[in-house]
Every structure is written in C-alpha cells, then in structure tokens.
Structure 1
Amino acid sequence: MRSNDVAKLAGVTVRTLRHYHQLGLLPEPPRQANGYRDYSPADVARVLRIKRLAGLGFPLSRIGAVLEKMDAEGNETSSSALDELDRELALEIERLQEQRRTIAELRAEHLDPDLPVRFARILRMLSGVDTLADARPSDRTALIVAGHLYDDEALGELERVVERIANENLAEAMEELDCRLGALAPDAPERERAALAQDSLEALAPVIACFDTANWLRPPTDRERFLDEIAFADYNEAQQDVYGRIEHGIEAIIAERAQTENAAATPSQVVHGALDPDATS
C-alpha cells in the first residue's frame, strides 16, 4: 500500500505519516522498484494504534514506549499507562478550569489580560489609571514587569500603599510631586533637589508608615534592582539624585522605626527572662 492509501484508510494525512516516521513511531517500510513506500497491513495497524493513543491523550513523545511495553507485557502495562494518563489529564483539566476562572474574572472586571488579576486590581485603585492604556508609555513596561515579578509579600505591601494613598487623599499631592520630578532639569541646583526630596518624604509619611520594615532593611534582590533599573531608566542625573535621596530618607525612617520597636521590645524580654527559672540555669 502507498502512503496515500494508508493515510486515507487510517484517517490521517500523508504529512502525519511522515511525522510518525521522523519521531520513530512508525518504521520506514521498504520501497518498491518505483521508489514508493510499500506499507503492510501491520503498518496500517500501527498507525491506527498510534492515532488511538494520541486520541486518548498520550503525547506522541511517549507513545512509542507505551506501545513497546504493551506489546511486551500486555494488559497490565496498558492499565498502568492508562492510570498514569488519567492522573495527568485530571491535573490538566484542573489547570484549564483555573485558566477559565481567570479569564472570567478578567472579562467580568475588564482587567488587563497582560497582568495577573491581583496586580490588575491594584493598578485600578490608582487615581486616573483604569488599565495599562491609561498609564504613561514610560511606565507601562515597568508595570507589566512588576506585575509578573512581584510575589505575594510584595503585592501585599503594594495593596497597603495604594489603599493608604486613597484613604489619605494623597493622590493629588503625589501627582504634583511626580510632575515636579518630571520637570527637574539635569542641572537643577542643590536647593531645588533638596527641597523636592524633603517635600516628597513629608508627603509620603503616611505611606512610609505602612511599609514592611524587614523589606526595607535587607539588601535589595535582583528582581528589585531590575525593576528600579526599568522604572528610572529615562531619569536624568538630577531626577535620579532626588529619587536616591528619597530612598535613603525612607531607609533612615524605617531604620529609626526598627530601632524604636526593638528598644520597646527589650524590657519585656528582660522581664520574661527574669521570671523564667530556666533562663539562668
């Protein structure tokens, strides 16, 4: 039988037969004197078995090994292979259902499909930003990268920050400071830089209060350094200087808070140690 005949009989294409040959699933049949492949009935049965297992959900990369074991060991291997496939398909169904739930949330809330749902909801809480299309082009890349790199802990802190900005009616002040920073000339004098940094720290005081102390006192991660690099890639020298001053100012505030918290905790620890009879043993 020629390739066209086998393909028609098995309900596949000639290209599929060639693919089976390339994968080693279907042995190359001998060729006739005219150069055409000459398929046997056993080859047709092999094609039908491959098609059947593929239809059940076995990936082509595994079908060869499954067929080999089935031929050697019989029904016991078949049952084991089906059990394994069933578990894999159950997991795949669960994954697909989760994808459908996510799609439903994105559609119902008109969220950006580019972003994880939780981050897209946080973005919507920002004043004047409903979707990525509302963000400035210079911010869009940073938002997409941040949305996918932030872990649950970082997202939790971001939610607290955005909620505090909304509750304290800080959006207008933040926008004004952002405009001042964006208008800062590369050769801005020291007085202007220092004033902007100080004004920013004062405006950010309610926001800084909800920052996680541990996150700010540890060395930055590679992810955080990369996000900073993206976010401030277009800043000129003066703008980067002011941002650096703001960051150092926040770190100083956080460090002072941590010192105060540690000092407040120490007396309690001493008292508990004195009351613990095992503490001095």
Structure 2
Amino acid sequence: MKSGELAQLAGVTVRALRHYHAIGLLPEPPRGENGYRDYTVEDLAHVLRIKRLASLGFSLDRIGEVLEEMDAHPTDGAGSRTSDALDELDRELALQIERLQEQRSTIELLKREQLDPDLPIRFARAIKTLMSGPRADSPIAKADHTAMLLAGHLYTEEDLAELERVVATIEELNLMEQLRALQKRVDELAPDASQEEQDNLVKDIEATMIPLIDCFSYENWEGDYEPTELLMIEALHRGLNEAQAQVSDRIERILEDRILAKKADS
C-alpha cells in the first residue's frame, strides 16, 4: 500500500509518517519501480502501535525504546521493563495533572481578584490599587505598565516586601486619591512647563510622600543601581516629556536623600 493509504487506515497524516521515518521510529520500506514506497501490513501495525503509545502519553523519543522492550517479551505484554516504562509514564502524567491543577487554581484566582495576568500573583496584588483608577491610555501609562512588568518579574524578596509596606501604608492613611491627583498633574505637565510649576509639583509630591519614608529600607537605596533597576528607570522614562522627566528625577533624588538620612539618624 502507498503512504496515503497507510496514513488513512492508521488515522495519521502522511507528514507524520515522514517524521516517523526521519527520527528512525518507522523503518523506510523499499520503493517500487514507480519510485513510491510500498508499505506492508506489518508497517500498518507498527504505525498503529506508535499511535497507541502516543495516545497514552509517551513521547515520540521514548516510543521506540518502549516498542523494543515490548518486542523483547513477545509472550508477556507487561514485561518488567515495559511495566517500568508505564510506571514512569504514570508518574510523569501525575506531575502534569498536578501542574495543570495549579495553573487552573492560578487562573481562577486571577479572575476572582481581577489581577493582571502579566504579573506574579503577589506583585499583582500589591500594585492593584496603585495601578487602578481613571488614567488615560497615555504613553506614561504604557511606560508605567512596562516598568511594572519588569519589576514584577525582577524584584527581589526585599523589594517586594518594601512595596507591600508602601501600599499598605497608602491604604491605611487614605493617600490614594492624593497620589492619583498628583499623578494626573504629572501626566498633564507640558514639556515647556515653567520652573515654578515644576517646583510646586515637586513640593506637593514630597509632602505627600513623607509619611511613606519609614516604609522604605535604606538597604535597597544605598549603593549603585543594579542593572535591573536601571532597566526599570529607563522604562519609566520612556513616556515622559522633558518637564515630566525632570520632576521624576528630582522626586527620586529627594526620596533617596530622605531614606538615607533616616539611616544616619538611626
């Protein structure tokens, strides 16, 4: 029979047969005078066995070895080595089921708590309040999301604990609306904003941030920036115009100075 007939009878594709040949799972039959491969009933049986083992969960890389083990025990369909292979497969499938159950639990949690699926659960919970609210789909908002995505996957345990303390204090002191109003002022800051307007904005942001200073660990702020921190800063600055970038830089320096001053006082 030709490859098309064999594929149809076995319920596979001709492309699959070619792949079986390429990886040595199915021996290539001789070609007839017309140049086409001539398959036998034994070839059909071999393909059906491959299909069956694949349906059980064996990988194609493993199937050839399993077939050899089964053929080594023609009178014992469950030879010891074959049983070992089935036991191994059963353990692998059990682990797959466990991983799938964990994935489903994570998906259910993301839906229930309406968390950003881009981010790890704990980080997404921490910034949910910070990132919510009626912000426009502006370059700044997109840059913020990019920076948050980097932070979510690159933050250390210490960074994450610091973030959680900051968010908890913001909620405890009901500062969220103030921070949103300040963020709106930053978003609307024109590239040619006057020095006075920038100074007033920096002053107001600093005043609002003072109650949060104790939430920061000076260990996270002293020394040179880590490469991951530089990447996040770069992402945050991508959506900023000149005046917004100047305000952002000034606030960052003020925060750093106050946090490190706290260390000196202690």
TM-score (norm 2): 0.82
Greater Cα offset, 90-99 or 247-256: 247-256
Corresponding residue of 2:256: 251
SS at match of 1:113: coil
Percent of pairs with identical residues = 52
Corresponding residue of 1:196: 201
Residues 177-218 of structure 1 show CA distances to partners (whole Å, capped at 9, x for unaligned) of: 223333444444555444433332221012221112221224
Corresponding residue pairs, total: 261
Deviation at 1:25, TM superposition (A): 1.4
Residues 23-46 of structure 1 show CA distances to partners (whole Å, capped at 9, x for unaligned) of: 321121111122331113332232
Residues 33-68 of structure 1 show CA distances to partners (whole Å, capped at 9, x for unaligned) of: 223311133322321221122112111233234434
Seen in structure 2, the aligned counterparts of structure 1 residues 77 and 221 have a Cα distance that, compared at 3 Å, is: farther
TM-score (norm 1): 0.78
Contact 1:112 1:132 in 2 (8 A): no
Contact 2:10 2:48 in 1 (8 A): yes
Corresponding residue of 1:101: 105
Deviation at 1:95, TM superposition (A): 0.7
Corresponding residue of 1:115: 119
Question: Which structure would you say has the larger RCO, counting Cα contacts within 8 Å and 6 or more residues apart?
Answer: 2
Corresponding residue of 2:39: 39
Find out whether 1:82 has 2:82 as its counterpart: no
Deviation at 1:100, TM superposition (A): 0.8
Find out whether 1:222 has 2:251 as its counterpart: no
Contact 1:7 1:14 in 2 (8 A): yes
Greater Cα offset, 145-154 or 39-48: 145-154
Distance 2:68 2:244 in 1: 67
Structure 1: which amino acid aligns with 2:29?
P
Gaps of 5+ in 2: none
Residues 132-190 of structure 1 show CA distances to partners (whole Å, capped at 9, x for unaligned) of: 98994453433444444445443332222222112212123222322333344444455
Distance 2:141 2:108 in 1: 27
Contact 2:144 2:236 in 1 (8 A): yes
Deviation at 1:109, TM superposition (A): 3.0
Seen in structure 2, the aligned counterparts of structure 1 residues 231 and 96 have a Cα distance that, compared at 3 Å, is: same
Find out whether 1:162 has 2:167 as its counterpart: yes
